[in-house]
Copies of this chain bind each other. A is one copy, B any other.
Amino acid sequence: MINCEYYNPTRIIFGKDTEKQVGELVSHYAKSVLVVYGGKSAKASGLLDRVFDSLKEAGISYMELGGVKPNPRLSLVYEGIEIAKKNNIEMILAVGGGSVIDTAKGIAAGAVYDGDVWDFYTVTLPEKALPVATVLTIPAAGSESSTGSVITNEEKKEKRACDHECLIPKFSILNPELTYTLPNYQIACGVADAMAHIFERYFSNEKAADVTDRLGESVLKSLMKYAPIAIKENENYEARAEIMWACKIAHDGTLGVGKVGDWASHNIEHELSAFNDVAHGAGLAIVFPAWMRYTYKQDKNLFLQFVARVLNVDIDYEYVDYSINLGIDKLKEFFKSIGLPTSLSEIGIYEKDIRGIAEHAIYVNDGEPLGNFVKLSADDIENIYRLAL
């Protein structure tokens, strides 16, 4: 295990009806709160009303700011900062998924800053922020217990991240029932994204991290067990709960302790999303099996461990390459079974496109190769895309 830090301070309130505790929880931090949310579904489902009722009951005054969209915009962050400053708002409460939380974090940092909040996404870091909390409506946001906020500056057409511990939510409410109404495709993408986050840390040249490896395998197995159930039976509480908890752990740093992550596949996927707007989780379902097939020779034993323990492959030790590829086939089948694409052609990317995309992946990485487990050049990335055609 390499030297590392583990810091995971968000209080998680998990279970049925837990959004009704939000007023009492907020009261430990603030008397006035700005509630940030997305579109109509939080209103239509009655969730926002339950949140407002709980705030009222606890004597918390609140204002609201709706309209957060995917790839959350800086203009709405500015709007929230103005509301917060004018009205002595003491806490920002996000009711929604990752985009809503990231917006709330931007507002929280900007509300106690005299300059332009975009500074924190470009040239400096916030020293302080209003406390942030969340009522999560999707699994696998990640942002519910992380330091990060990603915001898009529409004018400059730039998408940038700000990471600081002052942005870690004080508490996050995870009620699996709130995820019942999500489209199956979104659940599948969330599961693939959580799995990919585990893969990025699992496939590492730091071999001595047995506890972390096994924990990662555990979460992968649970995700693969419950994703098909959640998709078939949308209101199966058990499945929703296991997925929501598994995704929380996949994103909170627990599964990276003592290891160096790879993260090439995330970059390789980002290029696909940029090229044709495929959902991040879906792109990862295409990239990862191809990345595995291309890189497994770097550490066949690690891949044997993975396919045996996670994918239940009965290893043929005479033909280990065959066994590993069998496992990768099974992973691909799993992604397919939950409705995700597993080839580039399914998302309209063809052989003629891949050289350019591969070169761009290296270009945006300042010309440096991608990854840690294996260092990938543009040629390597092209080969990986080719395996995914």
A contact set with B: CB distance below 8 Å: 1-9, 11-18, 208-212, 214-215, 217-219, 221-222, 225-226, 238, 241-242, 245-246, 249, 254, 257-258
Contacts and interface: CB of A to CB of B under 8 A. Distances in A.
A233 to B, nearest CB: 14
19 contacts: A1-B14, A3-B15, A4-B14, A4-B15, A5-B11, A5-B14, A6-B12, A7-B12, A8-B9, A208-B238, A208-B242, A209-B242, A210-B225, A211-B245, A211-B246, A214-B221, A214-B222, A245-B257, A254-B254
A222 B218 contact: no
A214 B220 CA distance: 10
B246 A226 contact: no
Contacts of A242: 1, 208-211
A219 B215 CA distance: 8
Contacts of A15: 1-4
Contacts of A245: 1, 211-212, 257-258
Nearest to A11: B7
Nearest to A3: B15
A18 B222 CA distance: 34
A18 B3 contact: yes
Contacts of A212: 245
A36 to B, nearest CB: 24
A309 to B, nearest CB: 10
B5 A13 contact: yes
A203 to B, nearest CB: 18
A18 B6 CA distance: 13
Given A9-B11, A208-B241, A241-B258, 13 more contacts: A1-B15, A4-B14, A5-B11, A5-B14, A8-B8, A208-B238, A210-B225, A210-B242, A211-B219, A212-B245, A214-B219, A214-B221, A214-B222
Contacts of A257: 14, 245
A5 B12 contact: yes
Nearest to A221: B214
Contact of A222 (B5, B211, B241, B249): B211
A238 B5 contact: no
A251 to B, nearest CB: 13
A9 B252 CA distance: 12
Contacts of A249: 211, 215
A122 to B, nearest CB: 26
Contacts of A238: 1, 208
Given A15-B3, A245-B1, A226 B210 contact: yes
Contacts of A7: 11-12
Nearest to A241: B1
Contacts of A214: 218-219, 221-222
Contacts of A18: 3
Contacts of A217: 218
Contacts of A258: 14, 241, 245
Contacts of A8: 8-9
A189 B6 CA distance: 26
Contacts of A6: 11-12, 14
A379 to B, nearest CB: 36
Nearest to A14: B4
